[in-house]
Structure formats: C-alpha cells, structure tokens
Amino acid sequence: MDMIKLAAEMRTALQYFVTTLDAETQLDKMLEIPSMFPAYEVGKAYKVKDVISYGVNSVGDPQLYQVLQDHTSAAEWTPDTATSLYKAIGVTEGGYPVWVQPLGASDAYNTGDIVSHNGTLYISTMDGNVWSPETYPAGWEVYAE
C-alpha cells in the first residue's frame, strides 16, 4: 500500500468534510483543525462562506479566512489585505486568536500567549498550558492592551 497516496487521499477527504462546517455555529471545531482547510490560491474562484487558510496567526496556527463575496482571487487581493473579500476568523478584531482546546503538548499555549476566551483577553502564565481560563484560572491572567 502506498502510504503517501493514502495520506493524500485522507487529506482530500478531510478537506471535503471541512467545507461542511459553518463558521457561525461551528467555529470551535474549525479552529481545532486549521491545517485541514485549503490554502489560498491566486486565480481560484471563491464563493461566499468558503473558508481558506493564509499565513499564520500569533500562536503559529494557520490563519483562517471566510470569503465575503463571490470572486476570482488575484495576487494583489490577498486575504490579509482585501477586507472587502475576506474576513479573518478565529481572531478578535484586535487580532488575538480565540482560545481553542489544545490537543496536547504540541499545540499547548506557552507563557506569554494571548487569547480571547468568552470575550475576555487572557495571557498564559505557564508553558504547556492546555486548560481554559475558566477551568484553570491559575494558568492565566486577564490581559489589558
């Protein structure tokens, strides 16, 4: 069995699945698997509500964007600059990522990471932080800009 071909087929299947998620009601699920969303491509026809990845957010995860209007992408209209075409999701208006339950040590929050949880900004006070601010308040401090 060709493991590379199998892995490519699995990724394609997962990318089909992620297109069924809704950013309005299932954002938490989307943010758990940001690397599964297709990367932004120049010259591609996008439809309203498509979700793509482009660049990385402040904690190093792929940044997700939702398409706001049907269009064909162009090199000069990248998701991070064309705010009439794309909306960053999983981040606050100030650019802070929304807290997502880490899967383990590999994606845990570290000292100094700032996240938004239930509308409040928090800064992690420890490395390897896998708990939410409400589950383990000692691992977080309220952050003010």
Same domain? For 32 and 74 the reply is: yes
* Below-50 pLDDT ranges, the chain: none
> Which among 75, 48, 51 has a CA at the least distance from the CA of 62?
51
Shared domain for 66 and 131, answered yes or no, is no
68 shares a domain with 28: yes
Query: Does 95 map to a domain?
Result: no
Q: How many CA atoms lie within 13 A of 5 on its CB side?
A: 2
Amino acid 73: pLDDT: 97
Residue 72 forms part of a structural domain: yes
**Does residue 136 lie within any of the structural domains?**
yes
Place of tokens 């699995």: 10
**pTM of the predicted model, to two decimals?**
0.70
pLDDT per position as a tens digit, 103-114: 777 778 999 999
List the CATH number of the domain containing 16. Answer: 2.10.10.20
pLDDT at residue 142, rounded to an integer: 97
Domain's final residue, options 44, 64, 89: 89
Q: Are 71 and 44 in contact (CB under 8 A)?
A: no
Q: Which domain holds residue 119?
A: 105-142
